[in-house]
Amino acid sequence: SNFTATDFKHHASLAIESILERDRLPIIAGGSNSYIEALVDEHAEFRRRYECCFLWVDVAPRVLNSFVSERVDRMVEVGGLVDEVRRMFDPTADEEDYSTGIKKAIGVPEMHHYLRGEACGNDEETQEALLMEAISNIKKNTRTLAHRQLQKIHRLRSKWNWSMHRLDATEAFLNRRRGREGDRVWEKQVARPATVIVRKFLVDPMSTILPHDTAFVAAAATAGSTSTTSVNSLAVSMPAVAAATR
């Protein structure tokens, strides 16, 4: 079944309330930018009750594209991507519906011709070519999705006036396979600066964190706030957001 932005808004709101009742900081991490938009800015009650601090972890496109290619290759080679898609493929169907549910996820429709050829008994050489084409399309579509998500973030900043503090995680990504060194870079350039930003927001949600305050960061946070009262906070990452109750 489809999990809609409306579903997300409902379940996220309940979770936020539960966390705040325990005097903890809600953090909304990841998910579709459209979900975050629906929760934060298409939900009048949410904006009335909460102040938000947005955290945006960004990576240079060239590094992100390389990471996407490596990740797709790993998913095919050791992650069982082909077998996973094969289990939901119906070789007897004349057509497959890839417009709803899990079947519309990147990685599923791209495998159609390969699996159809497998069911029809194609020779090994043809199947190898179809698999390479499927993998290439998965990479291309994933890169396209990442680019669209970045465009959406910029659009949200403009449309809703979200003030985002970009944290550049490029170096952390480049060092991700270097064990403790990778952890050190992530801590220094992403985790620690993000923590500082959220702490400052919690102390004074009306404060503006200027660019020079976050120049040492490799990730990003945003403070979009109007509250003048005590802060019960929420952190959302879509960007990532930390929010405070009025």
Alpha helices in the chain (DSSP H): 5-21, 33-40, 44-49, 61-77, 81-87, 112-119, 124-160, 170-174, 180-186, 192-203
- Residue-wise pLDDT tens digits, 93-138: 767 888 888 888 999 999 999 999 999 999 999 999 999 999 999 9
Question: d(Cα 95, Cα 93) in Å, to the nearest integer?
Answer: 5
Question: d(Cα 52, Cα 245) in Å, to the nearest integer?
Answer: 9
Question: d(Cα 101, Cα 4) in Å, to the nearest integer?
Answer: 10
Asked if 27 and 16 touch (Cβ cutoff 8 Å), the reply is no
- Residue-wise pLDDT tens digits, 54-94: 889 999 999 999 999 999 999 999 889 999 999 989 877 76
For the chain, which residues make up each domain, given as ranges?
A: 5-60+162-245, 64-144
Q: Spelled out in words, what is the top-level CATH class assigned to the domain 64-144?
A: mainly alpha
Question: d(Cα 59, Cα 38) in Å, to the nearest integer?
Answer: 25
Kindly indicate the confidence band of residue 41, based on its pLDDT and cuts at 50, 70 and 90. confident
User: For residue 46, what are its two tokens?
Assistant: 């949410």
* Structural element, H or E, at residue 166: strand 165-168
Kindly indicate the confidence band of residue 24, based on its pLDDT and cuts at 50, 70 and 90. confident
- More confidently predicted of 198 and 240: 198
**What is the 8-class DSSP label of residue 91?**
T
Kindly indicate the confidence band of residue 216, based on its pLDDT and cuts at 50, 70 and 90. very low
* Structural element, H or E, at residue 232: strand 232-237
